[in-house]
Chain A
């Protein structure tokens, strides 16, 4: 890879987020907690797209919110361009917000229904004091044009637009501050297939044109495979595998990744195949099983998996995973 002097633009170390359960009873004096994120490590290089996949409850959305500091981490560090932003005060936070932005999943609730879309796009610039009203409005109109919308859409309200258009407006808004990194939280999941393709192409254009770095959060493996350079797979608050996209899809190392890829519907009836079906449902993040979080559903579970949490480490060059199966016997 590139020289060590160009470090990652974003690096996350030992990140944890535990939510206390308000109404829960204390067990041995400790209030039960939902361990939404339970020790996550990864980094993203500038200009790359890291896909973050997992099913509901795996914590990927929480990771996105943590990186944006919309919620505060319980433990761990978030390092952006070499600076620790895990608990900076408000002033520093404002500056950070100019660099890191977010695109939301639901185009219907991520825009203020009572604010004209042009103003919504211009607002961040005004609020940060980076531009006066006129300048900000002008820039908003430029962005609207870039999104394929026209000037006279400036004064319209969100309900007058389709889902795909609203998503473009949301993207324009995120771009208004010219961020370096964008967290895309399921940006196409709520859209029809043909509109999804339009938005994905748009995101790629932005990447090429602005050198944008993405953390692309999604449960849709097809989309992730298409757009990501590397992929991290999460399960119950932990990253279980991280590798280059093709490597991951061709040869998954972790049993969960294997099952996940197997579950994806085929793309042609001819390819109908026998699948690896997992037993049962995802356990509740409230009562995490001891040891490896996945062992209750794993076909390959061994005794050690029940007791000891596997370490997330490099098992092959450029590939990381957390699984006892991959531990080489010591020579």
Chain B
């Protein structure tokens, strides 16, 4: 069994606001093996983006703060690194991140070539001209036509799909070991999304990069993920191999998600949505945070917060139903 590339234990990231402490991530354990694609799934407010940003320590210091936990990358403690080491070794170098909205993730006042070569200059110490040449090659590698011409263009001349490709090129420039992709295709049209996902798959095959794929779209994880972790209200509630997850989801929330998905449900039947709404992260409900919406709730769920139970096949679930 390959060693874990990323090992997160007991991560707690809280936001200290005027209205109270928002416990966005409240005790998360995750691990990512080298070369694997982990799909981190959940709806808005579940804490998946905050978890990802915590890995690179991109949490804005007021009002947020990583209050507890340990993040190991290749065995080294990320939270203990100095800012300089973090910047030089990890960010953009061994761990890269791409974001959701391609329209705002590139700086409009610099050419795309300029922004791409920055990565080469900083992390690989290349001079300007070589960096530009590498940038053109990188753009070509992500399927952008006429890359030598396109590096001289500004972002507004790039379409959404092209910008996302440019972002991917930037992220993969230094052959990172881990790519964190936060909703990489959500803002794109479905045919462009298919192209981008295909691109990511191809690059992953070529470079062996591990991917932390964050999304609320179950279809995307069905396409891309080797393993899946489901988050709800700041915790991981289920984690398994992708095939097992879709065959037989364990946690009631997972089941609810899969059944709310039109396209899976029998056509013309009523969808079975999960009743209620996500809980307040400042004052979450006692016991299991999902219990107010759970159709299989038991008295224990209302009082005691469930721990993670290990099940055969490498599956884990945070639910009293699975207590042995």
| Interface residues of A, Cβ cutoff 8 Å to B | 55-56, 162, 164-165, 192-198, 200-201, 204, 219, 221-223, 225-227, 246, 259-260, 262-272, 275, 277-278, 280-282
Q: How far does the Cβ of A286 sit from chain B's closest Cβ, in whole Å?
A: 13
Task: Pick from B59-67, B90-98, B148-156, B218-226 the stretch touching chain A.
Answer: B218-226
- Interface secondary structure of A, over-half rule: helix
In the complex, 8 of the A-B residue pairs with CB atoms within 8 angstroms, ordered by the A residue number, are A55-B189, A193-B216, A193-B260, A222-B261, A222-B262, A264-B263, A267-B219, A277-B191
**B264 to chain A: which residues have CB within 8 Å?**
222, 267
Q: How far does the Cβ of A75 sit from chain B's closest Cβ, in whole Å?
A: 27
Within 8 A of A (CB), among B187-228: 189-195, 197-198, 216-220, 222-223, 225
Hey, what's the 0/1 contact readout for B237-267 against A, CB within 8 Å counting as 1? 0000011001100000000110111111101
Find out whether the CB atom of B43 lies under 8 angstroms from the CB atom of A194: yes
The complex places the Cα of A327 from the Cα of B270 at a distance, in Å, of 39
**A223 to chain B: which residues have CB within 8 Å?**
262-263
Find out whether the CB atom of A55 lies under 8 angstroms from the CB atom of B257: no
Find out whether the CB atom of B271 lies under 8 angstroms from the CB atom of A200: yes
The complex places the Cα of A222 from the Cα of B190 at a distance, in Å, of 11
Find out whether the CB atom of A281 lies under 8 angstroms from the CB atom of B161: yes
Chain A CB within 8 A of B274 CB:
yes
Q: How far does the Cβ of A190 sit from chain B's closest Cβ, in whole Å?
A: 10
Find out whether the CB atom of A195 lies under 8 angstroms from the CB atom of B277: yes
Within 8 A of A (CB), among B33-71: 43-44
Find out whether the CB atom of A194 lies under 8 angstroms from the CB atom of B193: no
**17 extra interface residue pairs, beta carbon distance < 8 Å, beyond A201-B273, A226-B263, A268-B247:** A194-B43, A195-B277, A196-B262, A197-B262, A198-B275, A200-B271, A221-B190, A226-B265, A263-B191, A265-B193, A265-B197, A265-B219, A267-B246, A269-B242, A272-B222, A275-B194, A281-B162
Find out whether the CB atom of B256 lies under 8 angstroms from the CB atom of A194: yes
**B222 to chain A: which residues have CB within 8 Å?**
265-269, 271-272
Find out whether the CB atom of B260 lies under 8 angstroms from the CB atom of A55: no
The complex places the Cα of A169 from the Cα of B186 at a distance, in Å, of 26
| Residue from the list A198, A204, A225, A266 in contact with B219, Cβ < 8 A | A266
| Interface residues of B, Cβ cutoff 8 Å to A | 43-44, 145, 159-162, 189-195, 197-198, 216-220, 222-223, 225, 242-243, 246-247, 256-257, 259-265, 267-268, 270-275, 277-278
The complex places the Cα of A245 from the Cα of B189 at a distance, in Å, of 21
Q: How far does the Cβ of B136 sit from chain A's closest Cβ, in whole Å?
A: 19
Q: Can you name the residue of chain A whose Cβ is closest to the Cβ of B267?
A: A226
Find out whether the CB atom of A194 lies under 8 angstroms from the CB atom of B274: yes
Find out whether the CB atom of B191 lies under 8 angstroms from the CB atom of A260: yes
Find out whether the CB atom of A55 lies under 8 angstroms from the CB atom of B277: no
Q: How far does the Cβ of A261 sit from chain B's closest Cβ, in whole Å?
A: 9
Find out whether the CB atom of B277 lies under 8 angstroms from the CB atom of A162: yes
Find out whether the CB atom of B198 lies under 8 angstroms from the CB atom of A277: yes
Find out whether the CB atom of B263 lies under 8 angstroms from the CB atom of A222: yes
Find out whether the CB atom of B263 lies under 8 angstroms from the CB atom of A195: no
**Beyond A193-B218, A267-B263, A268-B222, is A281–B192 a contact (Cβ under 8 Å)?**
yes
**Beyond A194-B256, A268-B222, A268-B246, is A200–B262 a contact (Cβ under 8 Å)?**
yes
Q: How far does the Cβ of A260 sit from chain B's closest Cβ, in whole Å?
A: 6
Q: Can you name the residue of chain A whose Cβ is closest to the Cβ of B260?
A: A197
**B275 to chain A: which residues have CB within 8 Å?**
198
**Beyond A196-B260, A267-B219, A281-B161, is A226–B191 a contact (Cβ under 8 Å)?**
no
Q: Can you name the residue of chain B whose Cβ is closest to the Cβ of A224?
A: B262
**A165 to chain B: which residues have CB within 8 Å?**
277
The complex places the Cα of A278 from the Cα of B256 at a distance, in Å, of 34
**B274 to chain A: which residues have CB within 8 Å?**
194, 197
Find out whether the CB atom of A194 lies under 8 angstroms from the CB atom of B273: yes
Find out whether the CB atom of A259 lies under 8 angstroms from the CB atom of B191: yes
The complex places the Cα of A298 from the Cα of B231 at a distance, in Å, of 40
The complex places the Cα of A264 from the Cα of B275 at a distance, in Å, of 27
Q: How far does the Cβ of B30 sit from chain A's closest Cβ, in whole Å?
A: 20
**A277 to chain B: which residues have CB within 8 Å?**
191, 194-195, 198
**Beyond A194-B274, A225-B267, A260-B190, is A267–B260 a contact (Cβ under 8 Å)?**
no
The complex places the Cα of A45 from the Cα of B278 at a distance, in Å, of 38
Find out whether the CB atom of B223 lies under 8 angstroms from the CB atom of A266: yes
**A164 to chain B: which residues have CB within 8 Å?**
277
Find out whether the CB atom of B270 lies under 8 angstroms from the CB atom of A267: no
